C-alpha cells in the first residue's frame, strides 16, 4: 500500500481508475480535470501529453498534494476511442476480431510541494480471437462497450473476446498498477 505524507488526488472521473487506485492507495480524493483532450502524435506521445495535461490542471490549484493524471487509448491500425453508437462499437469490434492491438496508458504524477513530475507510458498487447458477428452485435447492444476505449471492457464481458495478453492486465483496465507503484516509491525516495 502506498502511504504519502500529503493528500493524493486522482485527476480522473473514471470509475475503473478509482477502483484500481484504491487497491494500492487507500486514501485519495478525486478532482476531475476539465482539459482539452484533442491531441496528435504517436499513441505513447498522446497518452503522456494528455495525462500530463490532466495532472497539471489539478496540480495548479494545490500546493500540498500529489496529483495523478492518466489517459488510456487503444490502437489497432488506428486510434480507437470510445464509440458513441452501437453501430460504431460493432465496427470497432469487427476491426479488432482475430487481431492484435495495443493498449497504451500514460501516467503523470506531480508533487505540488516540490514541483517534481514523473511520467510513464505502459503498453500492453491484446489479441482477440475470431469473433462471430452475432456475438459482436449482442455485446454492442449490451451497452458495455459504449464508454470504453476500443469498444470493450477487459474487466467485463469483453474479456470473453481475449485469448492472449502480453503485459499488464490493469493497464488494459486503465491504470498500470505495477509501474504506478514504482513511480510512487521513486517519489517517496526523493522526499
Helix, strand, coil shares of the chain, percent, nearest 5, are: 40, 25, 35
Q: Measure the CA–CA gap between 155 and 185, rounded to whole angstroms.
A: 27
Q: Measure the CA–CA gap between 48 and 69, rounded to whole angstroms.
A: 9
* Block residue for cell numbers 500492453: 124
Closest to 187 in 3D by CA, of 108, 126, 109 = 109
71 flagged as catalytic: yes
Containing 46, the helix (H) or strand (E) segment is helix 43-59
Q: Which of 27, 34, 44, 71 is catalytic?
A: 71
Closest to 180 in 3D by CA, of 14, 22, 6 = 22
Q: Measure the CA–CA gap between 93 and 80, rounded to whole angstroms.
A: 10
Contact 187, 109 (CB under 8 A): yes
- By annotation, the residues acting in catalysis are 71
Amino acid at each position: 500500500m502506498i502511504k504519502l505524507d500529503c493528500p493524493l488526488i486522482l485527476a480522473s472521473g473514471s470509475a475503473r481508475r478509482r477502483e484500481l487506485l484504491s487497491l494500492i492507495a487507500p486514501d485519495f480524493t478525486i478532482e476531475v480535470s476539465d482539459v482539452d483532450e484533442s491531441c496528435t502524435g504517436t499513441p505513447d506521445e498522446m497518452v503522456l501529453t494528455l495525462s500530463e495535461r490532466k495532472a497539471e490542471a489539478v496540480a495548479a490549484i494545490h500546493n500540498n498534494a500529489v496529483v495523478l493524471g492518466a489517459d488510456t487509448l487503444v490502437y489497432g491500425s488506428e486510434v480507437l476511442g470510445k464509440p458513441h453508437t452501437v453501430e460504431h462499437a460493432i465496427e470497432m469490434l469487427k476491426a479488432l476480431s482475430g487481431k492484435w492491438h495495443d493498449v497504451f496508458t500514460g501516467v503523470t504524477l506531480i508533487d505540488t510541494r516540490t514541483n517534481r513530475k514523473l511520467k510513464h507510458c505502459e503498453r500492453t498487447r491484446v489479441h482477440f480471437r475470431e469473433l462471430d458477428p452475432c456475438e459482436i452485435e449482442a455485446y454492442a447492444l449490451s451497452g458495455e462497450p459504449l464508454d470504453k476505449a476500443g469498444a470493450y471492457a477487459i474487466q467485463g464481458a469483453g474479456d470473453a473476446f481475449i485469448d492472449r495478453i502480453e503485459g499488464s492486465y490493469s493497464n488494459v483496465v486503465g491504470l498500470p498498477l505495477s509501474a504506478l507503484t514504482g513511480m510512487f516509491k521513486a517519489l517517496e525516495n526523493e522526499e
